[in-house]
Amino acid sequence: MHIYTNISDIPGSFPRAAVTIGNFDGVHLGHQILFSEVVSRAYRNKGTSVAVTFEPHPLKIVRPDIGLKLISTAEQKKELIALANIDALIILPFTREFANTPAEVFVDQVLCQAIGVQDLVVGYDYAFGKNRHGDIPFLQEQGKSKGFTVSVVEPYYVEGMLASSSKIRELVGLGKMKYVKKLLGRYYQIRGEVRMGKQRGGPLLGFPTANLAIAEEDLCPRLGVYVTQVIYDGKCYGGVLNIGYNPTFAGNQLCAETHIFDFNQDIYGKPIKINLLRFLREEKRFSGPAELATQIAIDVAAARNILSEAKKEILLSCEEKYNR
């Protein structure tokens, strides 16, 4: 997949371009249907499949007051779109000036002149441009006058749940990872470099942990303990994760601490990925290290049991392209 971070980077319009536009936060199943349709149209026409997205997310510019938390980082989004077999990804810098671009100017300058759109595929609720004037009826009229088709992909539901970024954010906040997986088509994942913690896990509690910081802009799952799958250096390990503030030790910094099963490597400063499989319990304050260590042992036993029962499914997820 070729990635362009500005319209000026595109060497020329793409041959018989099939295009979709969106924020694609999380690259959930609804987004994947869009990509599949674009790839299919490009294949039939011997053309190019193109996805257009924005960085940062437009709501961070036009509605900074809502404090939007993203499901996927910019890097994750690129990886996931590449896995959808899109030929070209165009990431447009989103600024206040860009937000004021009239919809017709965007169609003329970006879709038609720069990209050479032949087929446009959009979601059922898509709108863009100043005052969101570029809605589906507008695009259909533009397509008629400027020679491109417009296809609308209908909403996608799983067990009565709409596959949408907002619904997934809600479920992540509730710790409902089973349903998050149903809408994403994969486990919800956090990632980062392992940092030095307080060194309590191994020496004091008997359960060494790999610690990740959670930034303010990150989408933080419900605080508590989770069964996890940890991916490091291309291999997968079971584990338990605590997301919270360490109330037993009067902590005040939010962090994610993972005890990795059957693992004994120095990974400080190394990148890891953590899939959240199931919420076990809420974070709570214990009377001291001994009581906390007892509870961790119970959590580990429960997690191992869950991992064992779902061994086939978890093994398949570990081999999935998303974790490589």
The verdict on 123 and 238 lying in the same domain is no
Q: Which of helix, strand or coil describes residue 91? A: strand
Question: What are the C-alpha distances in Å from 61 to residues 17, 99, 168, 178, 249?
Answer: 29, 8, 21, 32, 38
* DSSP codes joined into one string, 247-307: GGGT--S-EEEEEETT-----TT-EEEEEEEEEEE-----SSHHHHHHHHHHHHHHHHHHH
If one counts the domains in the chain, the total is: 2
Residue 235 lies in a domain: yes
SS3 content of the chain, % helix, strand, coil (to 5): 40, 25, 35
The verdict on 127 and 221 lying in the same domain is no
Pick the catalytic residue: 79, 257, 282, 320?
A: 257
Q: Scan for tokens 């999380």, then name that residue.
A: 26
Residue 174 lies in a domain: no
Helix 165-174 to helix 177-184 angle (10° resolution) is 160
Residue 173 lies in a domain: no
Residue 175 lies in a domain: no
pLDDT, mean of residues 21-28: 96
CB 37 within 8 A of CB 46: no
Nearest Cα neighbor of 284 from 272, 275, 294 is: 294
pLDDT in tens, 159-206: 999 999 999 999 999 999 999 999 999 999 999 899 876 655 444 555
Say if residue 254's pLDDT is above 90: no
**Better pLDDT: 25 or 313:** 25
pTM as predicted = 0.89
Residue 108 lies in a domain: yes
| Least confident stretch, 90-94, 213-217, 237-241, 281-285 | 213-217
The verdict on 25 and 119 lying in the same domain is yes
Residue 165 lies in a domain: no
Nearest Cα neighbor of 278 from 236, 234, 310, 319 is: 310
Say if residue 324's pLDDT is above 60: no
Q: Which residues constitute the domain of residue 316?
A: 186-323
The verdict on 56 and 8 lying in the same domain is yes
Q: Is 257 marked active-site?
A: yes
Cα distance between residue 161 and residue 111, in whole Å: 32
User: CATH number of the domain that 38 lies in?
Assistant: 3.40.50.620
Residue 167 lies in a domain: no
What's the pLDDT at 264? 87
The verdict on 42 and 148 lying in the same domain is yes
The verdict on 154 and 6 lying in the same domain is yes
CB 175 within 8 A of CB 282: no
pLDDT in tens, 226-253: 999 999 998 999 999 999 887 666 566 7
Tally of residues, the chain: 324
pLDDT in tens, 62-84: 999 888 999 998 999 999 999 99
